[in-house]
With several copies, the nearest count.
Chain A
Amino acid sequence: MTKPAVETNQKELVSKEEMLSLYRLMLLIRRFEESTYRKYREGKIGGYLHRYDGQEALVAGIIPQLRKDDYILCTYRDHAHALACGTDPRHVMAELMGRATGCAYGKGGSMHLIDPDNGFYGGDGIVGGPVPIALGVGYAIKYRGGDQVCVCYFGDGAFNQGGVHESLNMSALYGIPVLFILENNKYAMGTRVERSTHQSDFLLKARAYGIEAERMDGMDVLEIRSRTQSIISNMRRESKPYFIEMNAYRFLGHGVADNPQQQKFYRSESEIEEWKNRDPIHLLGRKLEKMGWLDDSEKEQIEESVKLDVEEAISYAERSPEPAIEALYEHVYG
């Protein structure tokens, strides 16, 4: 154990059951994501497809502790967020396959998963896009005098979008309870952070708007879990924004087209390997093992149950019908 103090602290905060459920959730996300490339290659998923491999802790550390009436928004890299929100994996997979049973009835696809019943207000195909929307969602919370929070995920590349700046500024100005999670996975497609900004400490950027900000290890789900808990409960009391830069990494290419060959243009295999050594799922697994809360057979069991979920999601999606053609003309207006 490298950080015993934090561990003890976390042990108090996070029960065995919770740790195991976080482990399971991250594994479900990983296996689910893996299956999507297979289905893409089979031609059953189309459009753009962005996986979350390596970043699972960013959703697992935060979303499960939220209330059902909280709000979550994120980018096109959104499968993990939907699953963490509790969206049925079958409805997620059906959406990826463009079926009538998808969580957006087949109209949205991979980049536009959505599930308002579970607080998930959607992925967004536009870089920076969810941030102005989160401002408005957060304003609705404050307006109604509620103690909910809105969690808004966005990328390191998105920080260079003007709309993000406008929204950060306004959220601080009005005291709007949005928890901004910067998924700093070091790259925006092939652009390393240092190639998109001269000053790459995002905390200084957030603080320039008067938003409290801190950085977390995006590979350590327990650190995220315990440190965000108090942040979120504070936000419920005080109604103000908060900013967290997550130190994370994208294990795979940006999307399907960004294959290993393509990635050579901008990053080394050894860099990827280094980060994979800190795979958030393995990190948590090892901790659980050390605590005697997870042995090989239990691990196998979880692996099996997750596999079943993913298989069931796929088979459900494949059995589901395409949307009726009339649906083309439905839902244009509210």
Chain B
Amino acid sequence: MSVMRYAEALRLAMTEEMERDDRVFICGEEVGQYQGTFRVTEGLLERFGARRVVDTPISETGISGLATGSAMAGLRPIAEFMTWSFALEAMDVLVNHAAKITYMSGGRVKCPAVFRGPAGTGNQLSAQHSQSLEAWYAHIPGFKIAMPATPEDAKGLLKTAIRDDSPVIFMEHAGLYAQRGEVPDDPEFTVPFGLAAIRRTGSDVTLISYSHMVGSCLKAAEVLEKEGVSCEVIDLRTIVPLDTEAITASIRHTHRAVVAQEEWKSVSIVSELASLIYELCFDDLDAPVERVGGPMTPMPYAKNLERAAIPNEKNVIEAIRKVLA
């Protein structure tokens, strides 16, 4: 085990996989000479050379094509979006090509590409930059989606993503890059997809989230512990595949659930989780599921408005109180 930042854990995952497998390479804007906009790819150009760490023009469609096509031809590319917002420029390649080529070809061609980069809200980046669209990708069959909440998972999930034969949407959270934590040194350490982590056990209510929001759930759980409320906190780690067993097992036990995410609330991951929970646990539920999500407004710039627009532990606490009422 070593203590390192989330961003370093990602770098370690890529370094190890690039050492292990010559087919793995990285491409994206400023990933090389500039050392990465968020330093995630720092030092990799020097280590692996320009063949395997490819600085690109500001051409998200081209970048996605580079990754998708090279994956179809047998490489294992990692394409970095400077932020996931810019993937909006590449939706056709992602959705109509990367996600579907395996199916359209009857499995004759695969697309083992990882698309990664920072997502999430915050930092007054305002409407065009501050958003993450995991709900979109989860609506599209063909993608797997990982959203790590800890440095350990950042490493373990990214390694699994690189080794997976499907296109993986890998969403990091800019607000987590500096977070420190223990990370296994073992180069064979991976975190399997579809296996949620119980971050805290509890008996009164199940809090289900992923990525940055897991921290808010844990904080909420701590606050409510003082009031004698025992919260179980589930970190989904991957949205697709989804660990429905972990969810149902917990709710069978707590009979109450709060589902929380940072993103827009309507037609979202929490919508799916809530309706799924009803379908799977209708008789176990003692109260309606509470959804925590962002308000249906673009992200405003002003600090006070932004604060009001990003769900935090207070919103989770409110939701818990509601399901317990």
Whether both chains belong to one complex is answered with yes
Q: Which residues of A contact B (CB under 8 A)?
A: 46-48, 71, 95, 98-100, 102-109, 111-112, 114-116, 121-122, 124-129, 131-141, 143, 157-158, 160-163, 166-167, 169-170, 173-174, 188-191, 195-197, 262, 265-266, 322-323, 325, 327-334
* Contact of A332 with B141 in the complex, beta carbons under 8 Å: yes
CB of B34 within 8 Å of the partner chain: yes
Extra 4 A-B pairs, beta carbons < 8 Å, given A99-B302, A106-B106, A108-B105: A107-B301, A111-B126, A116-B108, A196-B56
* Contact of B69 with A134 in the complex, beta carbons under 8 Å: yes
Please, which residues of chain A bring their CB within 8 A of the CB of B33?
Answer: 190-191, 195, 265-266
19 A-B pairs with C-beta separation under 8 A: A107-B302, A114-B108, A125-B127, A133-B72, A134-B69, A136-B67, A136-B69, A137-B73, A140-B73, A157-B57, A160-B62, A162-B59, A166-B59, A189-B30, A197-B57, A265-B35, A328-B300, A332-B141, A332-B296
* Contact of A265 with B34 in the complex, beta carbons under 8 Å: yes
* Contact of B300 with A106 in the complex, beta carbons under 8 Å: yes
Please, which residues of chain B bring their CB within 8 A of the CB of A128?
Answer: 58
CB of B265 within 8 Å of the partner chain: no
Please, which residues of chain A bring their CB within 8 A of the CB of B102?
Answer: 331-334
Q: Which residues of B contact A (CB under 8 A)?
A: 25, 29-30, 33-35, 37, 51, 54-62, 64-75, 77, 85-86, 89, 92-93, 96-97, 101-112, 123-129, 141-142, 144, 164-167, 295-298, 300-305, 308-309
CB distance from B69 to the nearest CB of A (A): 2
Complex: chain A residue closest to B51, CB-CB: A143
* Contact of A104 with B92 in the complex, beta carbons under 8 Å: no
A-B contacts counted at CB < 8 A amount to 268
Instruction: Report the bound CA distance from A131 to B303 in whole Å.
Output: 29
Interchain CB contact (< 8 A) of B309 among A109, A158, A328: A328
Please, which residues of chain B bring their CB within 8 A of the CB of A112?
Answer: 104-105, 126-128, 301
Instruction: Report the bound CA distance from A137 to B144 in whole Å.
Output: 22
Please, which residues of chain A bring their CB within 8 A of the CB of B164?
Answer: 334
* Contact of A137 with B124 in the complex, beta carbons under 8 Å: no
Please, which residues of chain A bring their CB within 8 A of the CB of B29?
Answer: 189, 191
* Contact of A98 with B65 in the complex, beta carbons under 8 Å: no
Instruction: Report the bound CA distance from A95 to B104 in whole Å.
Output: 11
Please, which residues of chain A bring their CB within 8 A of the CB of B124?
Answer: 46-47, 98, 109
* Contact of A121 with B72 in the complex, beta carbons under 8 Å: yes
* Contact of A158 with B65 in the complex, beta carbons under 8 Å: no
CB distance from A166 to the nearest CB of B (A): 4
* Contact of B70 with A136 in the complex, beta carbons under 8 Å: yes
| Among B51, B107, B125: residue with most chain A CB under 10 A | B107
Q: With A107-B105, A121-B72, A139-B70 in contact, is A328–B295 under 8 Å at CB?
A: yes
Instruction: Report the bound CA distance from A103 to B104 in whole Å.
Output: 10
* Contact of A129 with B92 in the complex, beta carbons under 8 Å: yes
Please, which residues of chain A bring their CB within 8 A of the CB of B165?
Answer: 333-334
Interchain CB contact (< 8 A) of A334 among B25, B75, B110, B128: B110
* Contact of A111 with B128 in the complex, beta carbons under 8 Å: yes
Please, which residues of chain B bring their CB within 8 A of the CB of A190?
Answer: 30, 33-34
* Contact of A98 with B302 in the complex, beta carbons under 8 Å: yes
Please, which residues of chain B bring their CB within 8 A of the CB of A48?
Answer: 125, 129
* Contact of A114 with B89 in the complex, beta carbons under 8 Å: no
Please, which residues of chain B bring their CB within 8 A of the CB of A137?
Answer: 69-70, 72-73
Complex: chain B residue closest to A95, CB-CB: B301
Q: With A98-B301, A166-B59, A189-B34 in contact, is A133–B69 under 8 Å at CB?
A: yes
CB distance from A183 to the nearest CB of B (A): 14
Complex: chain A residue closest to B108, CB-CB: A116
Complex: chain A residue closest to B61, CB-CB: A163
CB distance from A46 to the nearest CB of B (A): 3
Instruction: Report the bound CA distance from A127 to B215 in whole Å.
Output: 32
Instruction: Report the bound CA distance from A325 to B104 in whole Å.
Output: 16
